[in-house]
């Protein structure tokens, strides 16, 4: 990637000073959901003329101008630590990916903890995948960021083991892949982590996995079998804590490419339309998908 622009540096500064403090000191998930929704609405920009359409499952459909109504579909699973976020918070990211690929995209909604702990989120995204298959539109690609990357891996493992059609490509952005092994210490030890404080993943584990052992493969995909899955591109910020998970996933999958971006924060892609580095990274994801169709 090229040198960071002024806009890139502005959003990195905001993540390091403001958003990191919010995640550290604001504990109630309902409050964080509101703040995250405001932040993403102000910090990302939808492609011109694209209006997401909500379906009966509260997911969002994205179709760029000029793209057929029956064009192939990308399934996108949003992040947010299993407790915040929605298809709407990630709309600029998903819309930009749909436009860059010239495909339709579907952002699935899933239930959030603490109101709905594991396995609610996993059940919901698997159901969304199966609905697309049953409708005759199995996803040609699946993508997800952070917790959504964890859920995307879980969907792929389920589809492979259940004999469902697999996508031709997968794209993961800073995926969570292992919720075991002292996750708080891993984040505390990542001295170049610009966004997520150690307190955040520790709180997430408490509300998302009450009574569930974090080494269970259906919780932490890295403890399961990651072979036999589609070609995968994994992007992460070079210094972030989840770059460790990203590298381990790439090694375990075999047919996976790890792409680390220096100087950026976790899931900088959320600032699509404003950050040149976000637009560039999404463009690379789109090129990876198109090359495998």
Contact 76, 107 (CB under 8 A): yes
Q: Among the options 86, 146, 246, 277, which is catalytic?
A: 146
Residues 6+ apart with CB under 8 A from 31: none
The whole-angstrom separation of Cα 223 and Cα 179 is 10
Q: Among the options 19, 193, 205, 240, which is catalytic?
A: 240
Q: Is-catalytic flag, 240? A: yes
Contact 77, 38 (CB under 8 A): no
The whole-angstrom separation of Cα 261 and Cα 279 is 13
- DSSP 8-state code for residue 279: H
- DSSP 8-state code for residue 221: G
3-state secondary structure of 187: helix
Q: Among the options 266, 269, 271, 277, which is catalytic?
A: 266
Q: Is-catalytic flag, 146? A: yes
Locate 64 and state its tokens.
Answer: 């760029």
DSSP 140-203: SEEEEETHHHHHHHHHHHHHHHHTPPPPSEEEEES------S-HHHHHHT-TT--S--THHHHH
3-state secondary structure of 169: strand
Hey, which residues are catalytic here?
A: 146, 240, 266
């Amino acid at each position: 990637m090229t040198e960071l622009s002024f806009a890139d540096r502005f959003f990195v500064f905001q993540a390091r000073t403001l958003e990191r403090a919010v995640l550290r000191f604001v504990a109630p998930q309902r409050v964080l959901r509101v703040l995250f929704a405001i932040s993403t609405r102000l910090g990302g920009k939808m492609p011109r003329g694209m209006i997401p359409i909500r379906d009966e499952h509260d997911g969002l459909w994205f179709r760029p101008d000029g793209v057929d109504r029956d064009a192939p579909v990308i399934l996108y699973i949003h992040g947010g630590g299993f407790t915040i976020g929605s298809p709407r918070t990630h709309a600029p990211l998903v819309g930009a990916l749909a436009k860059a690929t010239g495909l339709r995209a579907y952002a699935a909604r899933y239930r959030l903890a603490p109101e709905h702990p594991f396995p609610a989120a996993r059940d919901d995204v698997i159901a969304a995948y199966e609905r697309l298959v049953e409708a005759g539109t199995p996803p040609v690609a699946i993508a997800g960021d952070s917790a959504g990357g964890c859920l995307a891996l879980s969907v792929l493992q389920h589809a492979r083991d259940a004999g469902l059609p697999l996508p031709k490509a997968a794209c993961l952005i800073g995926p969570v892949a292992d919720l075991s092994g002292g996750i708080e210490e891993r984040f505390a030890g990542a001295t170049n982590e610009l966004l997520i404080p150690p307190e955040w993943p520790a709180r997430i584990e408490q509300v998302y996995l009450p009574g569930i052992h974090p080494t269970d493969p259906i919780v932490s995909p890295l403890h399961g079998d990651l072979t036999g899955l589609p070609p995968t591109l994994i992007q992460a910020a070079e210094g972030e804590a989840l770059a460790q998970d990203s590298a381990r996933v790439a090694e375990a999958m075999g047919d996976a490419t790890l792409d680390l971006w220096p100087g950026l924060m976790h899931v900088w892609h959320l600032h699509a339309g404003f950050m040149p580095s976000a637009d560039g990274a999404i463009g690379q994801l789109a090129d990876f998908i198109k090359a495998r169709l």
